[in-house]
Amino acid sequence: MNNIPKIKVGIVAVSRDCFPAPLAVNRRKALVEAYTKKYSADDIYECPITIVESETDMVDALNDIKKNECNALCVYLGNFGPEISETLLAKHFDGPKMFCAAAEESKGTLGITGRGDAFCGMLNASYNLALRNTKAWIPEYPVGDAEDCADKIHEFLPIARVVVGLSELKIISFGPRPANFLACNAPIKQLYNLGIEIEEESELDLFEAYQKHEGDKRIPDVVADMTKELGENKMLPKLAQYELTLLDWVEEHKGYRKYVALTTKCWPAFQDMFRFVPCYVNSRLTGRGIPVSCEVDIYGTLSEYIGLCITGEPVTLLDINNSVPKDMYEESIKGKFDYSHTDTFMGFHCGNTCSSKIHNAHLDYQKIMANTHPAEWCEGTIEGDINPGDITFYRLQSTADNVLRAYAAEGEVLPVATQSFGGIGVFAIKEMGRFYRYELIGKNFPHHGAVMFGHYGKSLYDALKYIGVDPKEIGYNHPAGVRYEDENPFA
């Protein structure tokens, strides 16, 4: 997967001149050793320059980590730390940065040569970061021994991937939103504020490019790969031609950007002109690390890309679609799982979820579109029930008045047969009924939500804060007894 950044964290130990420098040096070495032993040496770089109270040392350290191609920074307080030069380092480093600090080692090292006071130094570091209007990620508890701080640096990696990824991302969209479909319409100004480029094209441009790929010599190889994934189907040559069209467009149009996400207008004219639906191809590209959202949902594909950066695995975009019938709840969920009826719902889309996240995956036709089009024009979805397991349901959105707003809720896909069609699963999230009413409806979110397969709420929340989403605008499913701001206290 080469559509997300590989993070290399430069670890710079800092030391205040009135504290013993060997404290910082030795603790840095122990930290690097702990990280390498538990994770991977490829993730980090140990800067040999220890910053004391010197701006020139800061410049030397900055140049060293740049020379060694670090795209993220960890400022590690081995002792109290020089609040000016350490925060200048963060200010002038062009990339995501974090701060953490060394804990005291034992009761026998609390004398003048062994006590570091980094617990105190973190306070001054955070204050000076604010003075310099410099953003840095600080862990929930930023002080620890070598193993603790190694874990904190590893926890920083998905946040850093989001920050670096968005700074190099281009979103390519095809076509305006379908008629009578204002739900995914949102101002694009916030994309530029996030450092993202967007290229808006028409369906006609895409159709022209598709026609030019007719007879492409690569089509048989793509068909063979599709056959290996889902078996033979007469639609595969058309779908392979379309896949090559999108992949070539990405390469020809990403320009100076390293990473790309796509969104397309997939109905109703798509079926009229292409004579298939693009869902399966969307699922394949998403499985290869190029999110493709449906219905020209620009912030949907942005949300997917953020999830991809956090997990390093395929994500999906689903409608928060329909309630679970009471008889299905009574028969398959009640008494077997610790969820009320209103905790459950069905997440669905026509067939855009990667086959690795679906069981009994198979190609079919889009049954909703077949109500208004010949069924043979609607073939090309990938159907099956979504695999059971932990999920994080989330979305980042710009409001109509250009405010970034997001939500996140952890839950699971239940091992319950959906008895339905499309790419679909029975989802369960604690207190979903109230979350649905007071967050999703109350904050005017559209029906599309992105899904990460696992519990990633903590990383997502920190990443959203780092890229500039006001914490007051990040919603979550409040536990029972904790009211939403506008929740009726008598309900």
Q: Across residues 26-51, what is the average pLDDT?
A: 97
The ranges assigned to domains in the chain are: 9-166, 168-476
- Predicted confidence at residue 337, as pLDDT, reads 98
Is the pLDDT at 322 greater than 90, yes or no? yes
Contact at 8 Å (CB) between 283 and 273? no
Averaged pLDDT, 375-392 = 95
Alpha-carbon dihedral of residues 4, 6, 10, 11, nearest 10 degrees?
100
Q: β-strand 448-452 against 389-398: which pairing, if any?
A: antiparallel
d(CA 18, CA 451): 50
pLDDT band at 197 (very low <50, low <70, confident <90, very high): very high
pLDDT of residue 1: 57
Beta strand residue intervals within 113-240, DSSP E: 143-144, 169-174, 197-201
- Residue-wise pLDDT for 261-304, tens only, equals 999 988 888 888 999 999 999 999 999 999 999 899 999 999 99
pTM of the model: 0.96
Assess whether pLDDT exceeds 80 at residue 433: yes
Average pLDDT over residues 181-203: 90
Confidence of residue 184 (pLDDT cuts 50, 70, 90): confident
Q: Are 159 and 137 in contact (CB under 8 A)?
A: yes
CB-facing half-sphere around the CA of 469: CA atoms within 13 A: 23
Buried b / exposed e over 99-129, threshold 16 CB at 10 Å, is: bbbbeebeeeeeeeeebbbbeebbebbeebb
**Mean pLDDT for the chain?**
95
Whether the CB-CB separation of 110 and 47 falls below 8 Å is answered with no
What's the chain's length in residues? Answer: 491
Q: Report helix, strand or coil for 6.
A: coil
Q: How far is 382 from 351, CA to CA, in rounded Å?
A: 4
* 112: its two tokens: 């003048």
Rounded-to-integer distance, Cα 203 and Cα 188, Å: 19
Q: Computed from CA positions of residues 388, 338, 481, 432, in that sequence, does the dihedral angle turn out positive or negative?
A: positive
* Residue-wise DSSP of 12-32: EEE--TTS-HHHHHHHHHHHH
CATH architecture entry for 9-166: 3-Layer(aba) Sandwich (3.40)
Cα-atom radius of gyration of the chain, to the nearest Å?
A: 25
- Omega prior to 139 cis, within 30 of 0: no
In this model, does residue 467 exceed pLDDT 70?
yes
In angstroms, how far is the first alpha carbon of the chain from the final one?
48
> What Å distances lie between residue 409 and 109, 387, 475, 484, CA to CA?
44, 18, 8, 15
pLDDT at 491: 84
The pLDDT score that the predictor gives to residue 105 is 82
pLDDT tens for each residue of 453-464: 999 999 999 999
What is the model's pLDDT at position 52? 87
Tens digits of per-residue pLDDT, 67-109?
999 999 999 999 999 999 999 999 999 999 999 999 998 777 7
Q: How far apart are CA 207 and CA 212, in angstroms?
A: 9
Distance between CA 421 and CA 71 in Å, rounded? 44
Q: Which residue has the higher pLDDT, 448 or 114?
A: 448
Instruction: Check if the beta carbon of residue 337 is closer than 8 Å to that of residue 414.
Output: yes
At 332, is the secondary structure helix, strand, or coil?
helix
Lowest mean pLDDT among 108-112, 219-223, 254-258, 322-326: 108-112
pLDDT value at 17 more than 90: no
Model confidence over 116-159: pLDDT tens digits? Answer: 789 999 999 999 999 999 999 999 999 999 999 999 999 999 99
Domain 168-476 class in CATH: alpha beta
